[in-house]
Amino acid sequence: MIKTRIDAITGLRGLAALMVVYAHSISSFSLPLKINFLGEVGVTIFFSLSGFLMAYLYVGKTYSLGNVIEYAISRFSRIAPAYLFMLLLSYIVYTFMDPNFVYQISNQNILRHILFSGNVSVFWSITPEVEFYVLFILVWAATSRYLKRFDIVGIMFLVFGSIAILSCRNFFPGTFIGAKLHYFLFGVVAGVVRSRIKDEQEKNSITFLHMILIGLLVLMQSGTISLPFISNKEFYNSLLTAVVGAFLVFCFTFPSRVGKIFFENKFIVFCGECSFSLYLLHMPLIYLFLKLPRVNGSDFISVSLHIIYLVAFGLVVLLASWLSFHFIEKPGARLINALGTSCKKKIFSIFPVPSTEKMRSIKGDN
């Protein structure tokens, strides 16, 4: 059951990445099926998944200095390798080779992006993601105090602070966590609730629910059911989309026959494993493919060549993402984890941790 849940979450991440890729490809390649707010829905799933996973993995785990350091190392190693590689490559290409490159990373904004606060193209969504990683440490600390001592002061502080921020979310820039906080918070709530529910065998009711949710998604995305938004800003500001995103993530982590077909097949799980590289690489590859000669026309040969062109694009995106995942993300993560663990040991050797905290940390790691 644990593997089923992990595969479902990975598959959801892969689906979200594919949504964003298709949304960005529609106008570039004149794709026939234009889907309403597809990219926004994909980003919504990404944000909701982040809140869900952080709560699912860490709320209830012992809050200690050692565990917080391990948490920080884990989060940084997850995104830093591919992100920093793409950032450096974009800086070189844009500054020295092509001033029209899609990722316009220059001397003026590279420091901002290195600090995970940039807003060029798809990098904008990574900024609130990293900010949430930092904010979650407070959530973890507050929930830990409540679970151990029934101390609600920290929880109350977070609740009132969140309400204050959410009431002003329309005024925050899109790269600030305050503008997207509702996605992460509802994801956290979904993760906490899900962690309290034991895995169950597949049920017909869950299968039926999954069928309804997937059907509604298809109807909404195809425009059959109109969404009450006139812009992506309005979409992202809506509390409704945050609730729906968290609800979808929550529901699809339960096992069902439909879930296996849609979220646990090998292709979608593959896309989920490579999702971050897929997200970072697809825009430069779109830019590259648009520079290649294309045949325009409605005759059979022209249409066939266009289909071959699109298939080639899809295969190149998947291959590049797989290569990035295996040769940049994974080795980079191993290196960062090794360095982080070494630094952690040195810190604890210089500043010894009280024995009670060591015991809690060891208990929390098991």
Higher pLDDT, residue 112 or 305: 112
Mean pLDDT (whole number) for 282-293: 93
| Residue 148, token pair as written in the block | 């151990």
pLDDT, tens digit, for every residue of 319-352? 999 999 999 999 999 999 999 999 888 877 776 6
pLDDT, tens digit, for every residue of 41-60? 999 999 999 999 999 999 98
Q: What is the pLDDT of residue 317?
A: 96
Higher pLDDT, residue 229 or 82: 82
Residue 220 and residue 36 in contact, taking contact as beta carbons nearer than 8 Å: yes
Q: What is the pLDDT of residue 30?
A: 73
Angle 205-207-212 from CA coordinates, rounded to 5°: 95
pLDDT, tens digit, for every residue of 132-161? 999 999 999 999 998 888 889 889 999 999
Q: Count how many Cα atoms sit within 13 Å of the Cα of residue 271 in the half-sphere of its side chain.
A: 24
Q: What is the pLDDT of residue 3?
A: 53
Residue 69 and residue 146 in contact, taking contact as beta carbons nearer than 8 Å: no
* Counts for the chain of helices (H) and strands (E), in that order: 16, 0
Residues 6+ apart with CB under 8 A from 133: 50, 54, 72, 75
CA dist., res. 307 & res. 101, Å (int):
25
Is 239's pLDDT higher than 90? yes
Residue 70 pLDDT level (bands cut at 50, 70, 90): very high
pLDDT, tens digit, for every residue of 167-209? 999 889 888 999 999 999 999 999 999 988 876 667 788 999 9
Is 270's pLDDT higher than 90? yes
